[in-house]
Amino acid sequence: MTTPGRIRAGTCSWTDRTMVEAWYPPRVKSAADRLRYYAQRFDTVEVDSTFYGLPSERNAALWAERTPPGFVFHIKAFAMLTRHGGAAGPPASSPAVDVRSASRPLRAHRPPPAELRDTVFAWFSSALAPLRDQGKLGLILLQFPPYFVASEPNRAYIAQAVRLLAPDPTAVEFRHASWVKPQELPRTLDLLTELGTAYVGVDEPRLQSAGVLPPITAATSTTGYVRFHGRNAATWKARVDSAAERFKYLYTDEELAEWLEPLHRLSEETHVTYAMFNNCYADYAPRNAQQLSALLGLDAPV
């Protein structure tokens, strides 16, 4: 690249209950008003509800309608597509497919039946058409579970998932450190580069555990992507009532400043780099996203 790409900051939800209660003014009451309020302050967001249940074309159309031109939605892949268990059933308007039969924990050695998998991938993609048509569809985030370890079958599954989602761009987030061990990292990055999918860098608690990844950034596609999960070591593996409790952590300016050089470096190797805050407890995520934007000197949405 001859010029550095743009850096854009946002949050990994705009609808978390604690965020709704703490961040939005009392006058912002409806779902439509919340998204419009968010889009006045940020120009990108992740949709995490699509992890728990298949998206609907109606909701995608409403998201597109309620945001200004240039706004970008990143969509977290439906749980079944990334070998997670607990997937909800499809919307009433989806094809006749028994998603519940594949809702049980899908370990790396037990993929869903090919016909079911292909059908659900197709439905997931088709529901995003309104965002795609409006130029507001960003990356499909494939976040694999902690038991999805580095192996040949799992490398093949990543390649298959990326192909099934094509031509939409994708990003891959690993949650098992085997993918980034010194001897494995080059192979992992080569795979993602070959597939043209973004490697998701993460900021997580500084723990010695296979379920925690170091803060690595890498340009494996034209898009850079970093997710900030917070550094709450006490709740990382604890049984908590909600994801918001797990990621209950407010970054300091000093901690965010650690990411300025890596983000600038990543932006120099990509067309655009996204810094997304997943510490969606109360107003922590939007507050930290705005802090990072200020440290980077980013322009606010017009």
Domains of the chain: 6-296 (3.20.20.410)
Pairing of β 137-143 and β 198-203: unpaired
Q: Give pLDDT, residue 35.
A: 98
Q: Give pLDDT, residue 5.
A: 79
Q: Give pLDDT, residue 101.
A: 42
> CA-CA distance, 93 to 55, in Å (whole number)?
11
Q: Give pLDDT, residue 21.
A: 95
Q: Give pLDDT, residue 253.
A: 97
Q: Check the CA dihedral 15-21-23-25 and report its sign.
A: positive
Tokens of 112: 């869903």
| pLDDT < 70 regions, the chain | 1-4, 85-112, 301-302
Model confidence pLDDT, tens digit, residues 81-124: 998 765 444 444 444 444 444 444 334 345 667 788 889 999 99
> CA-CA distance, 92 to 56, in Å (whole number)?
9
Q: Give pLDDT, residue 89.
A: 46
